[in-house]
Structure 1
């Protein structure tokens, strides 16, 4: 009898373990996917993002002319998508980019913004810190002002490095500064009155961010993983802001630029073919980011019948 009891206990334990392992995945799925269990499907955005392939087709010579674009086919949960409007201002001191931006705003950005709003895409305005802090829905309004960023390194005695005078090109380093432009006052006066373009200002509770940290924190709270960028200028703020494509890509987000909803500042050598704009987009496509056209993005949004 004493020998039988341990065997029965062992068999009972094995049966319990077997039942647990059969049931556990079902239970885990129930808790991990409450929406699916309730029978409601997550709405999605259908995208075919473009990137640049540093590869050639089999059998072709390995030369640059044989490299090409590639396209993916994504079905992205709509709740994980954020549309980021970078520095969509009401003016520019150069007439060419000002005219191009206005045309893009009216013909491309406004239709895309309207469609995204109807579909329920998270709209995030990033108009630069001075403009952001004037908006009622600025996410940093209730938070204390963050400390000034530290210098990139320090020397042994604890002083910032590079020295403040070197970074500001003052004192003994003034000879390395660029000359003051005679028309600088005109540019400064134009920039002093910058504001968000009246046709793309926040609607309702659409948030406004001033920094990359604010954008990152908002995305964390909302569960956003895919950031779709538009705005100006392609080769400046869209690339280089701390809430721009490069910095947010470093934070791990999937970055997509709407290539017909942006333009850059060109030079006398590039303005005819917009090579600065095209080059900035191509740079992103070549190094881990993607692009889409606004019409493709609109077409990939959930149709009205799919919306609740």
Structure 2
């Protein structure tokens, strides 16, 4: 167990996380793991202020206050909060949480091969909007305003920057949440696939994410079930998941 632990019960206690995985040929399996908040980072992926899909934007409006609550509590326990609102970093160019990255020695991530992974269980080839929009455009200009950025946090949308910071601060466990589960959360340079490939203990916060999925596309399930299918895919092939309740004080 790592030192400098901060947790639910006080400064000496770790976070107790009930992790869910799906071993090959098995249904969901849970396992309790204790992690040090002071050796953990929380990555908030692409929780933007606006989105070209009305449905996606509305769901983020619901998620953002809860994400902020989790970030505030984890920050208070010593967890590094990394805000990753891709393609909007010019908005934050003078923020201390952005400027701090300039002082981090660059470190090239390991070139480990990606894990074998089958295709995702949903078809998002239409863009994934469930509210009828057909034309994609970059609607975002910053992170959602409901999520506070502290000067002690970090702001980056670059995988090498994020990896360098995690290594510099000896953060071995990475919690990741945000949107969208089947797209940016998986595929960004700082997303799950790379975090796992780099050997970091990666955990998806499964109730604080959302997929881009249109129920009119295969496998023709509800939007909520589509998101669940992507989470289950991640649990089976990439990394465990946890609920946000494990990250909050009771």
TM-score class, shorter = 0.7 to 0.9
Is 1:289 the counterpart of 2:236? The answer is no
Computed over aligned residues only, the root mean square deviation of the Cα atoms, in angstroms, reads 2.8
Is 1:51 the counterpart of 2:53? The answer is no
The DSSP-based 3-state class of the residue aligned with 2:88 is helix
Q: Which of 89, 96, 117 is the matching residue for 2:75?
A: 117
1:271 positional shift: 6.2
1:54 positional shift: 2.0
Larger radius of gyration: 1
1:276 positional shift: 3.2
1:194 positional shift: 2.4
Matches within 5 A, 1:146-157: none
Deviation digits for residues 48-98 of structure 1 (CA, Å, limit 9, x no counterpart): 11111224xxxxxxxxxxx21111111112221101100110111111111
Q: Which of 174, 177, 183 is the matching residue for 1:230?
A: 177
The DSSP-based 3-state class of the residue aligned with 1:200 is coil
Kept after mapping to 2: 8 A contact 1:133/1:210: no
Q: Give the structure with the larger helix fraction.
A: 1
- Describe the shift of the 1:228–1:51 C-alpha distance in structure 2 as closer, same or farther (beyond 3 A): same
Gapped regions of structure 2 (runs ≥ 5) = 5-10, 107-125, 127-132
Is 1:88 the counterpart of 2:47? The answer is yes
The DSSP-based 3-state class of the residue aligned with 1:89 is coil
Aligned residue pairs total: 211
The residue number in structure 1 matching 2:91 is: 134
1:224 positional shift: 0.5
Matches within 5 A, 1:1-308: 43-55=13-25, 67-106=26-65, 108-128=66-86, 130-135=87-92, 136=95, 137-138=97-98, 139-141=100-102, 187-188=136-137, 191=138, 193-267=140-214, 268-269=216-217, 270=220, 272-299=222-249
1:245 positional shift: 0.6
- Describe the shift of the 1:254–1:105 C-alpha distance in structure 2 as closer, same or farther (beyond 3 A): same
Gapped regions of structure 1 (runs ≥ 5) = 1-32, 36-40, 56-66, 146-177, 301-308
1:142 positional shift: 6.3
Deviation digits for residues 242-278 of structure 1 (CA, Å, limit 9, x no counterpart): 1001111100001111111010111223562434321
- Describe the shift of the 1:74–1:87 C-alpha distance in structure 2 as closer, same or farther (beyond 3 A): same
Kept after mapping to 1: 8 A contact 2:75/2:81: yes
Deviation digits for residues 169-215 of structure 1 (CA, Å, limit 9, x no counterpart): xxxxxxxxx9xxxx87x643xx1542111111411221111211011
The DSSP-based 3-state class of the residue aligned with 1:114 is helix
- Describe the shift of the 1:53–1:92 C-alpha distance in structure 2 as closer, same or farther (beyond 3 A): same
The DSSP-based 3-state class of the residue aligned with 1:53 is coil
Structure with the bigger RCO (C-alpha within 8 Å, sep 6+) is 2
Aligned partners of 2:3 and 2:74: how far apart in 1? 26
